[in-house]
Structure 1
Amino acid sequence: MTHRGGYVGWALPEAERARLLTRFPARYARTVAHHVTLAHGVPASHPLPAEREGAVLGLADDGEGVQALVVAIAGTPHRPGGGTYHVTWSLGPGRRAVESNAVITRLGWTAVEPVAVRLEPRFFPS
């Protein structure tokens, strides 16, 4: 039997997504606003994270089709193993969610007044 990997992290519940979209409108055509990744390339048996809340700390936007919200989990935006916790918020044509980390690394992010957010631990198949 072949096991496909996936990623583990947190889903953004629909009510939280709607609330945050009111506060941070999607700038580009495709609204993503779906999840925060903890680890990718992991099996379905990977343990789920214990945390169930975070805080939106900032906004990253390259002005060319990638918009992301920076999120703190357990008080930090720094993801173990590298990268920044974030939610890909919206994408323009030809842009992909995987580009959000590169945009945050290259351009940084603009701080916003922290907004608490409820998150649901989950495994996402690839």
Structure 2
Amino acid sequence: MTQAYLEHVNVTVADANKTAALLVDLFDWHIRWSGPARDGGYTVHAGTTDHYLAVYQPSDGQSRNFPKGAPLNHVAIVVDDLDAVEAKVITRGLKPFNHGDYDPGRRFYFFDDNGIEFEIVSYR
């Protein structure tokens, strides 16, 4: 039996294409799939061949406040070049915060336009 691994995380956003474009730009990912989703919404899968973030955009007039998502604290992404990703975050007008340099690696956090907190980590 293979080791269990995280395949994807699904988050609700205001504009799926905009959020997916941010993820592709910051992490050199690609769009794996996009199309119709539950309740008349729209989803984009942005990631690598093996792992991705599913960004779900509700249909017009549907609430983005899904109570089941309330416990999510942040999504952590491992990168090779922390400084390069931070520069891209700043270029996008987002504000990095809470920088840390402790074992096992360096990290910073930022909120995207949807209020989703990302932790960016480098173990190099």
TM-score (norm 1): 0.30
The higher radius of gyration belongs to 2
Q: TM-score, with normalisation over the residues of structure 2?
A: 0.30
More helix by share: 2
More strand by percentage? 1
Which protein, 1 or 2, shows the higher relative CO under an 8 Å CA cutoff with sep ≥ 6? 1
